Amino acid sequence: MNASRPRPLVAPVFLPQSGCPHGCAFCNQTAITGRSLRRPSARDVRREIQQFLVFGHRRRGPVQIAFYGGNFLGQDPARIVSLLQVAADFVDAGRADGIRFSTRPDTIDTRSLDLITPFPVTVIELGVQSMNNEVLRRNRRGHDAEAVRRAAAALRDRGYRLGLQMMVGLAGENPEATLVSGHALAALAPDFVRIYPTVVLRGSLLARWYREGSYRPLSLEEAVGLAKKLYLLFDRRGIRVVRMGLQSSPSLDAGTNLLAGPYHPAFGHLVHSRIFGDALLEGLAAARPGAMGAVEVRVHPAAIPRLRGMHNDNVRRVEARYGRGAMRIIADAGLDRRDLVVGGRVLRPYGDQA
């Protein structure tokens, strides 16, 4: 990950479960966002983008119009064209730079790609979730891993930037299988990935399995640990992880639609804190606090929240092992924000990129 790379401003258009052939076992977009499944018209979409671009979002860099929350290419072709035309009008007028959307791997074929060719689509995200065929089947995805490989290759051939979304803690998937999926996705060399922990949403099939006792969600601790391994797996191959954890929303935060599972509004921060915390403990073990007095821990000022951890969790881990006063944290703007210096030894919590 290179935190300094500029990210585009995304004007989001939410199309909840539009074009979905059926509900995947874990999914309930209404529960995630608190918004209804009402299908916005092209006119609604134009108004929504207009408002986003006018109010509160002054253009400072590239702007992308993004269709999310459904299976974009699973919609009726006339609907696809009308939505893309609305977005393309903003690009033609110089108010946006490109279009992106998320879709299922099994919607990518010559016909659907020909349909979108006239429009300024630059980025396509595939909801993959797992590369394990048994897990895909059990979660009612309706496609297999081969469909993902085919879709990724077709998108590359046409020159689109490729994003892949995966989940941890799916029904029927153990952590080892999740890491195998991660390696399989990395082998497709996506431009970026998103990692989502599976949560139990009211109204989903998973909720029924949870109530029946046939599904147990990961604990937050387990999900953070697994997401950490995946993050490092992708990061070390130079693949950006642009999101970890569900976007927080009032309905998720209130917990009304969330039955169980490792939801946390700052999930990504927890993962980065774990990466720093584990490196810190490793560095301290070598520096032997106590024997030599407080060990100096240097870190870039922007990385201090990750070093300390959520609610000072990492500091508490250190204190539990070595007692209070075992380390002295010093902000050092001369350091790379991914690095850590413990007792004079430079540590690279994220390892070295390929």
Q: Is 127 in the site for ligand SF4 (CB under 6 A)?
A: yes
Q: Is 33 in the site for ligand SF4 (CB under 6 A)?
A: no
d(CA 206, CA 202): 8
- Helical packing angle, 220-235 and 267-287, nearest 10°: 80
Q: Is 75 in the site for ligand SF4 (CB under 6 A)?
A: no
Q: CB nearer to ligand SF4: give 142 or 225.
A: 142
Burial of 12 (C-beta count, 10 Å sphere; 0-12/13-18/19+)? middle
Paired residues of 129 in beta bridges:
166
| Binds ligand SF4 by CB under 6 A, chosen from 11, 20, 63, 218 | 20
d(CA 147, CA 107): 9
Q: Is 104 in the site for ligand SF4 (CB under 6 A)?
A: yes
- Binding-site size, ligand SF4 (CB under 6 A): 10
The size of the chain, in residues, is 354
Q: Which stretch binds ligand SF4 (CB under 6 A): 16-24, 52-60, 174-182, 278-286?
A: 16-24
User: How many CB atoms are closer than 10 A to CB 263?
Assistant: 22
| Binds ligand SF4 by CB under 6 A, chosen from 27, 32, 121, 195 | 27
Is the CA virtual torsion 171, 177, 179, 180 positive or negative? negative
Q: Is 17 in the site for ligand SF4 (CB under 6 A)?
A: yes
d(CA 79, CA 81): 5
Q: Is 29 in the site for ligand SF4 (CB under 6 A)?
A: yes
79 token code pair:
């609907």
Q: CB nearer to ligand SF4: give 29 or 257.
A: 29
Q: Which stretch binds ligand SF4 (CB under 6 A): 15-23, 44-52, 181-189, 261-269?
A: 15-23
Q: Is 70 in the site for ligand SF4 (CB under 6 A)?
A: yes
Give the footprint of ligand SF4 on this chain (CB under 6 A).
17, 20, 23-24, 27, 29, 70-71, 104, 127
